[in-house]
Amino acid sequence: MKLSAIQKKILAVGGTLGLAVVTVGGVIGLMSAAPESTPALNAYADGALRYIPNTAYGFGEKLTFDVGYKFITAGQAVMQIGEKPTTINGRPCYDVRFDVRTTSAFDKVFKVRDRYATYIDVDGIFPWRFEQSVREGNYSRDFAANIDQNANMAKTTEGSFKVSPFVHDILSAFYYTRAMDLKSMKKGQSFVLKNFYGKKTYDLRVRILGRERVEVDAGTFDCVVVEPLVVEGGLFKNEGRIIVYLTDDDRKIPVKVSTKVVIGSIDGKLASYSGTRGPVAAKRD
């Protein structure tokens, strides 16, 4: 296969890496972990719909990934939480952004400029709004959803749709998962989360594959390994398995995302991180 063909395949998948990273959010049902900012240990005193303790992340966290194939760096992805809460529907929210872009050199082969945003209720760890802007080669897509978690309705750029209680978008699902206690998960277990995208609510199942030590530019980490089981015709355009490596500690930081395709493995690897909620105990150097 010629290099140009490989590059096109890399970037087609790299452009959807944002989805690959966040699909790990399909993993977990309701388990528990202590509060971020709203002092509502008396859970619903301030109008919260539910209360999910969270020690995994907080305001100002930033994660940067290099996306590539073998020794070729095709692009970069940045996942970050705003420094301060944003108010949506009267509720304090995490303003979470995920940006994926190709390098200037690879722009000439297949240019990618993707952005995802979600506004996650600080107490309940569910979304009130989701936005998507996709620019991949000649393809473009803009999508937004306002999710009424009281009425269980999603009002989107494509219409209004009934959704499940506390339904997630593909990005909020990842942060919901990170708030959970993955240490009790054993190899072979799988869990389902309700995920809304486009016009439908999907069951997104993720299987626990085990534990593994992973070395990336940001360091060496002990990780829990999970595999999102992609719904056919659902959230993802790329073919092949998606394997996600999360730090096996209280932070559950994504260290690596591997997309297994015909030409090998296309990886997103953690290059740097800052603003974490606390120490990353799974780091080994």
* Alpha carbons 82 and 59: distance in angstroms, whole number: 6
Q: C-alpha dihedral over 206, 208, 214, 217, to 10 degrees?
A: 20
Q: Residues of the chain with pLDDT > 70: what percent?
A: 79
What integer pLDDT is reported at residue 66 of this predicted model? Answer: 95
pTM check: above 0.85: no
Q: Say whether pLDDT at 90 is over 70.
A: yes
Q: Say whether pLDDT at 167 is over 90.
A: yes
Q: Say whether pLDDT at 5 is over 80.
A: no
Domain boundaries of the chain, sorted by first residue: 3-274
Higher-pLDDT residue of 71, 275? 275
- Reported as a pLDDT band with limits 50, 70 and 90, residue 56 is very high
What integer pLDDT is reported at residue 233 of this predicted model? Answer: 38
Most confident of 66-80, 117-131, 251-265: 117-131
What integer pLDDT is reported at residue 12 of this predicted model? Answer: 41
- Reported as a pLDDT band with limits 50, 70 and 90, residue 183 is confident
Amino acid in position 10:
I
The DSSP secondary structure of the chain, one letter per residue, reads --HHHHHHHHHHHHTTHHHHHHGGGGS--S-----SS---SSTTTTS-S------S--TT-EEEEEEEETTEEEEEEEEEE-SS-EEETTEEEEEEEEEEEE-HHHHTT--BEEEEEEEEETTT--EEEEEEEEEETTEEEEEEEEEETTTTEEEETTEEEE--TT-B-TTHHHHHHHTS-GGG--TT-EEEEEEEETTEEEEEEEEEEEEEEEEETTEEEEEEEEEEEPPTTSS--S-SEEEEEEESSSS--EEEEEEEETTEEEEEEEEEEE--SS--TTB--
Q: Which of 27-31, 176-180, 245-249 has the lowest mean pLDDT?
A: 27-31
Q: What is the mean pLDDT of the chain?
A: 81
Q: What number is the average pLDDT over the span 200-215?
A: 90
